[in-house]
Amino acid sequence: MIENKANEGRKIVIISIIVLVGIIFATRLFYIQVINDKYVLSANNNVLRYITQYPARGLVYDRTGELIVFNEAAYDLMVVPKLVKTIDTFQFCRLIGIDKDDFIRKMKKAKGYSYHKASIFEDQISKESYGYIEEKLYKYPGFWVQPRTLRKYPIPSAAHLLGYIGEVSPMEIEANPYYAMGDYIGKSGIEKAYESELGGKKGLKISMVDVFNREKGSYQQGAYDTLPIPGNDLYISLDIELQAYGEKLMQNKKGSIVAIEPSTGEILALISSPTYDPNLLIGRIRSKNYSELYNDSLKPLFNRALLAMYSPGSTFKTVEAPIALQEGVVTPQTTFSCGGVDATPIKCSHNHYSPLNLIEAIEQSCNPYYWNVFRKIIENRKYANTREAYVNWKRYVNSFNLGLTFNSDLNIERGGNVPNPEYYDKYFGKGQWRSMTIRSLSIGQGELLVTPLQLCNVAAIIANRGYYYTPHLVRSISRNKQFEEKKYEKKYTLVEPRNFDPVVEGMYRAYSGSHGTARRYQMDTIMMCGKTGTVQNPHGENHSLFIAFAPKDNPKIAIAVVVENGGYGNTYGTPIATLMIAKYLLREFERPPYEEDLFNASLISRY
Amino acid sequence: MNAKPNIFQNLDWRMISLYLLLVFFGWISIYSAVYDENHQSIFDMSQSYGKQMVWIATSLFLALVIILTDFKFFSTFSFPIYFFLLIILIAVLIFGKEISGSKSWFQIGSVSLQPAEFAKFATNLAVAKYLSTLNVNFHQFKSVGKILLILLLPSGLILLQNDTGSAIVYVAFIFVFYREGMPGAILIIGLVSVVLFLMTLLLNQIVVVIILFVICVLLVVFMKRNLQNLVILFGMFLIMSVFVFSVDYAFDNALEAHHRTRINVLLGKETDLKGAGYNVNQSLIAIGSGGLSGKGFLNGTQTKYNFVPEQSTDFIFCTVGEEWGFIGSIVVVALFVALIIRIVIVAERQRSKFNRIYGYGVASIIFFHFTLNIAMTLGLFPVIGIPLPFFSYGGSSLWSFTILLFIFIKLDSYRLNML
């Protein structure tokens, strides 16, 4: 009994140790559960998967309501490098259909972007392989398949204009943090210009996974999930049938056709030749095809309608005449004599009677006449000197939107060139230049440069007798079935409407007059107005240019055609423009024999 | 105070209540830890929670049997039970079934039993029996030798089964011996050894020896400088230095690679989140993400979706931490501390030395399991396979802890009838 009590005090030591352990545990628990919040994050990283729900991109319809761009399902194989466990690489590569070097390269790329965020491992797997891969994928944690949409073009036309979509670049992500690696974005054309409309808004689905990355249902019954908002549909002014027809006419030729509805500024067709099938730049084939197109010596990716700059040549006479009339330096009845091929300082390339009045000089495209008109403008005594007169002339020319960009919805364009007086000051010396020095401007040569779009807009201005609407492509945007019309304001030139009438008459006579430059292609059913241009250039044969509109009164279409190295304006320009107008206004018409010749004509040997 | 005629009125219901609370909390934690949408019923026998229910029911039956057994049976048959278990431990080495690297299971039908679990209460009986005999004390070399032998036999056999966790449990008896008169210095030496061991692994061994030397110099300055003290001090310094160097040697040569890695990970010398550190890291994430009040019953994700390994057995505390948060964890820790202290208090009120020693053994074994298991899940101790008493899934463990505890409850109920 005594011995029993001997060490009784030791129970205090033992109970103290027990309590101490309890306190240590409580402290430790308090630290990791209440103070330190890194474990909550780690737990979320373990179990939560943030899956982007991609919205369907907006569709595109043409002016006749034809669906021209739609979506098709595709599947991307995604990877989060951090979650990838040691796997049988050989088996995996066989499943995906890649080799080991590909695997290492793709893995490196994904890791280079982020260890924790998803990126595309293999893009756009076909529907067939998708089913097969999906079944086996559970063996490879860190990988999953993300459904996507691809663009499809039922009519393989208008590639430049529609543009294409592609994976966002790191630069684009930096510019707009809405985008994440693996998203798609419009890269050119209206896909780029209307990205904010077409792109829609991404949704987010938070789901829970177990340690084997198997999905275990949605997080908090989807309380934090958001649905993707589909992109808005675009109704564009393009006439896809006209576009395709124009592309066919331009095949095997370099150049461009632009057609505009003058009363609205809506672009009906915008052709850059050579073109390509827009279906080449979608899916996994894109990068291969892109580099092939990029390296093509004919530069099919280059949008000539908006970016190529040409001298307008004789088509520029239609701008010069109304300016001269407005300035009062000539009247429609004013005549100048023409010395034909021996004329100085500018010879005439057309064989015609002399003298001609202003209207006849447009009908027959007399160069010396317009040299005289230009001289009258520049040597007008109203102005103190040549420079001042030139500045005034340039102001007029600029009001036709030449030398300026439109800032339209076409995403890219160039403004052409109307030289500043400073340019001549520098080139010839201040006060050292006269109308004689810059005479090539009178026939639309020299430093004067325009794009096919600007040229077409000139035709639209004449068709409207003095005003235009900014050429544009999108007529309306459909937001939740609500159409929003795009409004554009009317823009006036500095020339009064009445001063366009003689020009219209001259252009009408180019088709209908007995000496008209376009008379060979006159059509009985349509009152067409046109003006040829034969543009000398340092790249060999002349460029063939033509601008036109029809019908003469209340015009429905204005057009500009450029065929590089095509020779005379009426060799290619006139017949192509004529057929385009007929196609648009009549749809069905008796095909003239030269249509087939144009389809078959190839100028490739000249490039 | 007189013994009441009805045996159930003599039982210590506080211990029994704490036991029942822990067992119940354990059961619903297992349910939550491996919860499966396809098997929603907690009584589903195809799932471990359904099976655990059967283990609980049979445990209660075992408890009843023990209560109805004559109290003298346990002290009388201490050694026969102990030797019987030793034979079983040998048998399992020969006929046993190997499960995840440990050859420590008997397969009987669809039920697996682990003899190492039952060896605990058997050894406790033997220790109590031997220590309570007259003339045994800690100053006799012969006595100490026999006590160590009683512990080393089962411990060694279990080690042969490659079940380190169950073997290490016998260290728990140091508390029993301390209470029964073992020199207090040994407990201190034990604690100092652990500290030195960890320091040696964490720091360079030379640094540790330098620290020891500085401490000795300070002691010399402040202590009475007689020859005896200086000799003792010098001797201790020498012993500790040798210990430090031998730990380093043992660590590099004696320990198995996976133990070395686990210790290194724990000490923060290695960060291998996919290998040995994975368990501890996931365990911390599960508990840590519970926050103050937890994610709620069945709402845990880390355990349910298998991020935490062994979530229904050794890491069952993770489910408590994740779903019931800091509050729930504290409650469980408090329940254990309360039960262990209650056992100690009840042990102290025993008039029979056998009863008291047995009671201390129960407290020590439960305390040791509790400490090592929770410390492991909280990243304070290397991962070794050791269950949380009453909580962890498993029939052998629950049966053995029930038997261990209820023998004591039975013994205690007769404390007033004795002599």
Contacts of A87 in chain B (CB under 8 A): none
CB contact under 8 Å between A22 and B175, yes or no, is no
User: At how many degrees (to 10) do helices B395-413 and B13-33 cross?
Assistant: 170
Of the two residues B416 and B323, the one the predictor is more confident about is B323
Same domain for A166 and A275, yes or no, is no
Place of tokens 């209207």: A359
CB contact under 8 Å between A25 and B378, yes or no, is yes
CA nearest A59: which of A160, A153, A130? Answer: A153
Cβ distance A412 to A473 under 8 Å? Answer: no
Of the residues A236, A251, A279, which one is the last residue of a structural domain? A236
Q: Is the predicted pLDDT of residue A505 greater than 50, yes or no?
A: yes
Same domain for A225 and A269, yes or no, is no
State how far the Cα of B339 lies from the Cα of B102, in Å rounded to an integer.
31
Q: Does A19 touch chain B (CB under 8 A)?
A: yes
State how far the Cα of B147 lies from the Cα of B130, in Å rounded to an integer.
8
Decide if A119 is inside a domain. no
Q: Does A38 touch chain B (CB under 8 A)?
A: yes
**Interior angle at CA A545, CA A300 and CA A303, nearest 5:** 20
Nearest 10 degrees: Cα torsion A566, A572, A574, A578:
-150
CA of A225 to nearest chain B CA: how many angstroms apart?
A: 18
Cis peptide, bond prior to residue A345, ω within 30 of zero? yes
Of the candidates B292, B307, B326, which has its C-beta nearest A211's C-beta? B307
CA of A24 to nearest chain B CA: how many angstroms apart?
A: 9
Of the candidates B179, B291, B363, which has its C-beta nearest A7's C-beta? B179
State how far the Cα of B392 lies from the Cα of B316, in Å rounded to an integer.
6
Of the candidates B285, B286, B341, which has its C-beta nearest A18's C-beta? B341
Q: Is the predicted pLDDT of residue A2 greater than 50, yes or no?
A: no
Number of domains chain A contains: 2
Query: Over pLDDT 70: what percentage of chain B?
Result: 92
Decide if A135 is inside a domain. no
Mean of the pLDDT values across residues A530-559? 93
Q: Which helix (H) or strand (E) holds A185?
A: strand A184-186
Contacts of B288 in chain A (CB under 8 A): 32-33, 36, 38-40, 42-43
Least confident of A334-348, A352-366, B397-411: A334-348
Residue B265: predicted pLDDT: 63
At A329, which CATH number? 3.40.710.10
Length reported for chain A: 607
Tokens of A225: 């999930």
Decide if A524 is inside a domain. yes
Mean of the pLDDT values across residues A183-209? 89
Decide if A551 is inside a domain. yes
Q: Is the predicted pLDDT of residue A95 greater than 90, yes or no?
A: no
CA nearest B34: which of B45, B48, B52, B46? Answer: B48
Grouping H, G, I as helix, E, B as strand and the rest as coil, residue A277 is: coil
Same domain for A201 and A338, yes or no, is no
Same domain for A409 and A551, yes or no, is yes
CA of B32 to nearest chain A CA: how many angstroms apart?
A: 15
Cis peptide, bond prior to residue A154, ω within 30 of zero? no
Decide if A226 is inside a domain. yes
Contacts of A40 in chain B (CB under 8 A): 288-289, 291
The interface predicted TM-score of the complex, written ipTM, equals: 0.88
Residue B4: predicted pLDDT: 66
What residues contact A339, with CB distance under 8 A and at least 6 apart? Answer: A347, A348, A354, A368
Please name the residue of chain A whose CA is at the shortest distance from the CA of residue B374.
A25
Q: Does A46 touch chain B (CB under 8 A)?
A: yes
CB contact under 8 Å between A29 and B330, yes or no, is yes
Same domain for A498 and A554, yes or no, is yes
State how far the Cα of B104 lies from the Cα of B99, in Å rounded to an integer.
8
Residue A1: predicted pLDDT: 40
Mean of the pLDDT values across residues A247-269? 95
Of the candidates B289, B305, B370, which has its C-beta nearest A208's C-beta? B305
For A273-290, the pLDDT digits (tens) are: 999 999 888 877 888 888
CB contact under 8 Å between A33 and B334, yes or no, is no
Same domain for A232 and A374, yes or no, is no
Same domain for A182 and A152, yes or no, is yes
Same domain for A159 and A266, yes or no, is no
Same domain for A196 and A251, yes or no, is no
CB contact under 8 Å between B285 and A43, yes or no, is yes
State how far the Cα of B36 lies from the Cα of B42, in Å rounded to an integer.
10
State how far the Cα of B158 lies from the Cα of B92, in Å rounded to an integer.
10
Contacts of A13 in chain B (CB under 8 A): 178, 184
Decide if A20 is inside a domain. no
Decide if A286 is inside a domain. yes
Q: Does A23 touch chain B (CB under 8 A)?
A: no
Residue A62: predicted pLDDT: 94
State how far the Cα of B113 lies from the Cα of B331, in Å rounded to an integer.
30
Question: What letters, b where the CB count within 10 A reaches 16 and e where it falls short, cover A88-106?
Answer: eeeebeebbeeeeeebeeb
CA of B65 to nearest chain A CA: how many angstroms apart?
A: 30
Of the candidates B305, B375, B380, which has its C-beta nearest A216's C-beta? B305
Contacts of A24 in chain B (CB under 8 A): 380
At A195, which CATH number? 3.90.1310.10
Least confident of A37-41, A419-423, B105-109, B223-227: B223-227
> Which of A4, A5, A18 has the highest number of chain B CBs within 10 A, making it the mutation to test binding with B?
A18
Nearest 10 degrees: Cα torsion A302, A307, A313, A314:
100
CB contact under 8 Å between B337 and A22, yes or no, is yes
Contacts of A206 in chain B (CB under 8 A): none
State how far the Cα of B246 lies from the Cα of B193, in Å rounded to an integer.
12
Please name the residue of chain A whose CA is at the shortest distance from the CA of residue B350.
A4
Cβ distance B95 to B104 under 8 Å? Answer: no
Cβ distance B323 to B31 under 8 Å? Answer: no
Contacts of B325 in chain A (CB under 8 A): 33
Same domain for A473 and A600, yes or no, is yes
Of the candidates A14, A22, A39, which has its C-beta nearest B333's C-beta? A22
Decide if A29 is inside a domain. no
Q: Is the predicted pLDDT of residue A356 greater than 80, yes or no?
A: yes
State how far the Cα of A604 lies from the Cα of A274, in Å rounded to an integer.
10
For A209-246, the pLDDT digits (tens) are: 777 767 777 777 777 888 889 899 999 999 999 999 99
State how far the Cα of B336 lies from the Cα of B23, in Å rounded to an integer.
11
CB contact under 8 Å between B341 and A15, yes or no, is yes
Q: HEC string of A419-442?
A: CCHHHHHHHHCCCCCCCCCCHHHH
Same domain for A211 and A316, yes or no, is no
Neighbours of A1 (CB within 10 A): 6
Of the residues A236, A252, A273, which one is the last residue of a structural domain? A236
Place of tokens 């589909």: A230
CB contact under 8 Å between B307 and A8, yes or no, is no
Q: Is the predicted pLDDT of residue B1 greater than 80, yes or no?
A: no
State how far the Cα of A206 lies from the Cα of A378, in Å rounded to an integer.
72
Same domain for A223 and A284, yes or no, is no
Please name the residue of chain A whose CA is at the shortest distance from the CA of residue B183.
A7
Q: Is the predicted pLDDT of residue B201 greater than 70, yes or no?
A: no
Q: Which domain holds residue A187?
A: 49-97+146-236
Mean of the pLDDT values across residues A298-314? 93
Cβ distance A580 to A245 under 8 Å? Answer: yes
Grouping H, G, I as helix, E, B as strand and the rest as coil, residue A533 is: strand
Tokens of B363: 């407290």
Tokens of B341: 């202290």
Contacts of B340 in chain A (CB under 8 A): 18
Of the candidates A19, A24, A33, which has its C-beta nearest B321's C-beta? A33
Least confident of A366-370, B127-131, B193-197, B391-395: B193-197
What residues contact A559, with CB distance under 8 A and at least 6 apart? Answer: A257, A258, A259, A260, A456, A459, A546, A547, A548, A549, A577, A580, A581
Q: Is the predicted pLDDT of residue B271 greater than 60, yes or no?
A: no
CA nearest B383: which of B370, B392, B371, B373? Answer: B373
What residues contact A189, with CB distance under 8 A and at least 6 apart? Answer: A160, A161, A162, A163, A164, A411
What residues contact A258, with CB distance under 8 A and at least 6 apart? Answer: A267, A269, A270, A271, A305, A452, A453, A455, A456, A471, A559, A560
CB contact under 8 Å between B288 and A22, yes or no, is no
CB contact under 8 Å between B289 and A42, yes or no, is yes
Place of tokens 């300016």: A323
Grouping H, G, I as helix, E, B as strand and the rest as coil, residue A148 is: strand
**What is the distance of C-alpha B196 from the center of its chain?**
22
> Residue B97 pairs with which residues in a beta bridge?
B105
DSSP A250: T
Nearest 10 degrees: Cα torsion A351, A357, A358, A360:
-50
State how far the Cα of A375 lies from the Cα of A373, in Å rounded to an integer.
5
Mean of the pLDDT values across residues B267-296? 76
State how far the Cα of A135 lies from the Cα of A132, in Å rounded to an integer.
6
CA nearest B32: which of B244, B309, B263, B322? Answer: B322
Mean of the pLDDT values across residues B303-331? 89
